[in-house]
């Protein structure tokens, strides 16, 4: 996946830095009130029932807080969190090994669950429903099923594309909770908290400028904040004003709408190569030289949300606002 500032995906070093900025309790987890209200109720109910919490599917674009929330859920339940990445599990046995290690009421978090291989996914069905693994041993006439009992656990699945989940898997999640992009006012609170954790003070207009240019995504706000912090450090100040923010944004090539060079490239290709569309995702992906899935999961959702591109049955169309923005 392309390495870019607006990309919601994380790099390894960024993951380490992000750990320091993660909300440590529910009061530090800002916004997404519908999701949080549901989770709050589910956690409390599980504590009263003294059982594992129901399985939950968290969906939404990258960097909006799904992992952070999973961590808080495990903490709230007083349980251990086990994190795996869907596409990284290649064999049934790998997932079986993780699941047989779970203790009662533990939480298993599977990131990018929609990218899990179907043969691996299948062992989740009985595990989620009956806390049991059905493993087929051998082949042909001598094949038999071995059953292994599991501890009662909670599965939290995270996905950027809930529509790509198979029906049997989707149906086994009791709660389906959808993360939406954050409004600038909510992002501003997150930015202020994280600036404090980084030891810098932000002027009011500086804070709002970052909030408006972060694509509604806390992870991107954190990235901008880090660069702004670098600016402050180099200039020997702990207080950041609008001037430093503008300079950092300009270095990062982020424009007034919070779009970066790849976003603008998508819009210009649609305008210049396809006369504003309609254009299909395959053609767009070929012209841009960018993976189709990345366009659909990382770049496009925000462009759609902002009304810069429109999806029609005949393909993607550039909106009037987008045409004006890139002219
Ligand atoms: N609601 C929130 N309140 C405070 N900070 C948040 C919130 N959501 C996200 N963050 C910040 O954004 C960072 C990235 O969030 P997180 O890793 O949880 O996103 P994600 O949705 O799991 O992304 P991905 O799906 O790409 O793994 C966190 O480290 C945290 O600093």
Closest residue by Cα to atom 30, ligand 1, is 22
Query: Using a 6 Å cutoff on CB, does residue 316 contact ligand 1?
Result: no
Query: Using a 6 Å cutoff on CB, does residue 158 contact ligand 1?
Result: yes
Supply the mean pLDDT for the chain. 91
Angle at 253 between CA 247 and CA 259, to 5 degrees: 120
Question: How far is residue 212 CA from its own chain's centroid?
Answer: 19
Q: Which is catalytic among the residues 7, 106, 111, 260?
A: 111
Q: Which is catalytic among the residues 92, 115, 215, 219?
A: 219
Mean pLDDT of 277-291: 93
CA distances from 54 to 44, 73, 103, 106, 298 (A): 11, 11, 15, 11, 29
Mean pLDDT of 102-112: 97
Query: Using a 6 Å cutoff on CB, does residue 86 contact ligand 1?
Result: no
Write the pLDDT tens digit of every residue in 108-148: 999 999 999 998 999 999 999 999 998 888 888 888 888 99
Atom of ligand 1 nearest to the CA of 8: 26
Please give the pLDDT value at position 237.
83
CA of 268 to the centre of ligand 1 (A): 30
Query: Using a 6 Å cutoff on CB, does residue 214 contact ligand 1?
Result: no
Write the pLDDT tens digit of every residue in 45-69: 999 999 999 999 999 999 999 999 9
The candidate with the shortest Cα–Cα distance to 280, out of 308, 253, 313, is 313
What confidence tier does 8 reach under pLDDT thresholds 50, 70, 90? low
Please give the pLDDT value at position 19.
80
- Is residue 82's pLDDT more than 80? yes
Write the pLDDT tens digit of every residue in 161-203: 888 899 999 999 999 999 999 999 999 999 999 999 998 999 9
Q: Known binder of ligand: residue 219?
A: yes
Q: Which is catalytic among the residues 67, 154, 159, 217?
A: 67
Q: What distance in Å separates the CA atoms of residue 195 and residue 222, rounded to the nearest whole number?
A: 9
Tokens of 326: 């890139």
Please give the pLDDT value at position 2.
40
Q: What is the pTM of this model?
A: 0.89
**Is 119 known to be catalytic?**
no
Q: What distance in Å separates the CA atoms of residue 76 and residue 39, rounded to the nearest whole number?
A: 10
Query: Using a 6 Å cutoff on CB, does residue 218 contact ligand 1?
Result: yes
Q: Which is catalytic among the residues 7, 66, 217, 229?
A: 66
**Is 3 known to be catalytic?**
no
Please give the pLDDT value at position 11.
63
ipTM score for this prediction: 0.96
DSSP string, 230-243: HHHHHTT-SEE-HH
DSSP string, 280-305: -HHHHHHHHT--HHHIIIIIHHHHHH
Residue in the structure block whose two tokens are 């149906």: 171
- Is residue 232's pLDDT more than 90? no
Choose which residue among 64, 87, 178, 198 to substitute to test ligand 1 binding: the one with the highest number of ligand atoms within 8 A of its C-beta.
64
């Amino acid at each position: 996946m392309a390495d870019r500032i607006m990309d919601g995906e994380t790099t390894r070093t960024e993951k380490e830095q992000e750990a320091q900025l993660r909300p440590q309790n529910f009061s530090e987890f800002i916004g997404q009130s519908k999701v949080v209200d549901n989770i709050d109720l589910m956690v409390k109910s599980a504590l009263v029932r003294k059982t594992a919490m129901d399985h939950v599917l968290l969906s939404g674009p990258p960097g909006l807080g799904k992992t952070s929330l999973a961590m808080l859920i495990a903490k709230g339940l007083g349980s251990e969190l086990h994190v795996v990445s869907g596409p990284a599990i290649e064999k049934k046995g790998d997932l079986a090994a993780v699941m047989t290690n779970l203790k009662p009421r533990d939480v298993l978090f599977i990131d990018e669950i929609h990218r899990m291989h179907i043969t691996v996914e299948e062992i989740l069905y009985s595990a989620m429903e009956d806390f049991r693994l059905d493993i087929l041993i051998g082949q042909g006439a001598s094949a038999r099923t071995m059953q292994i009992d599991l501890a009662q656990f909670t599965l939290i699945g995270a996905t950027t594309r809930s529509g790509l989940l198979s029906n049997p898997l989707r149906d086994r999640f009791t709660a389906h909770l959808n993360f939406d992009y954050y409004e600038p006012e909510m992002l501003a609170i997150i930015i202020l908290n994280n600036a404090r954790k980084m030891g810098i003070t932000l002027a009011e207009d500086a804070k709002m400028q970052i909030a408006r240019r972060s694509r509604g995504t806390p992870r991107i706000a954190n990235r901008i904040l880090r660069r702004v912090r670098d600016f402050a450090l180099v200039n020997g100040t702990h207080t950041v004003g609008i001037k430093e923010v503008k300079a950092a944004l300009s270095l990062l090539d982020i424009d007034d709408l919070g779009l970066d060079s790849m976003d603008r490239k998508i819009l210009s290709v649609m305008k210049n190569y396809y006369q504003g569309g309609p254009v299909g995702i395959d053609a767009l992906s070929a012209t841009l030289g960018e993976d189709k899935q990345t366009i659909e999961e990382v770049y496009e959702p925000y462009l759609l949300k902002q009304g810069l591109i429109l999806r029609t049955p005949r393909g993607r169309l550039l909106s009037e606002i987008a045409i004006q923005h890139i002219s």
